[in-house]
Structure 1
């Protein structure tokens, strides 16, 4: 079980997009397991990379900006996580 926390200090990444659905957060092709870890590498995969293999970063996507490397807080706009009831989306 994860340790509870009451305060967190970290770098904030502003994701300036409304109505981000669970398919964008974690694309379905990465949902082959039911454990709650190991999804971070696939976060926003279709937005972060220009190719299907995840080898060519999209330089225009905020999570690829050098100043946000190592960030631990995602500041999202309204209706983040909409769409399916896919429980994998908020897992890390």
Structure 2
């Protein structure tokens, strides 16, 4: 598995296919944030065959000029039953 940036097409296809996706974790919200000038990232986990296993839209907010607070609207799109995947995602996200 690898933690990586996702394209809007990759993110959109994955989010649309997942039953537990939330509307705030959609390409339309990403495009809105970008248009508003908000620093926004699409990240995820891919397996060795390049299949997306998890995805997340992150927005950054400046804090005290030197730091950034990253927010994930309604959390990542991930199978929370897969403990190994959840552990890997959050460990990689923290790096």
* TM class, shorter-length: under 0.3
- TM-score, normalised via structure 2 length: 0.26
Structure of greater relative contact order (alpha carbons < 8 Å, 6+ residues apart): 1
- TM-score, normalised via structure 1 length: 0.26
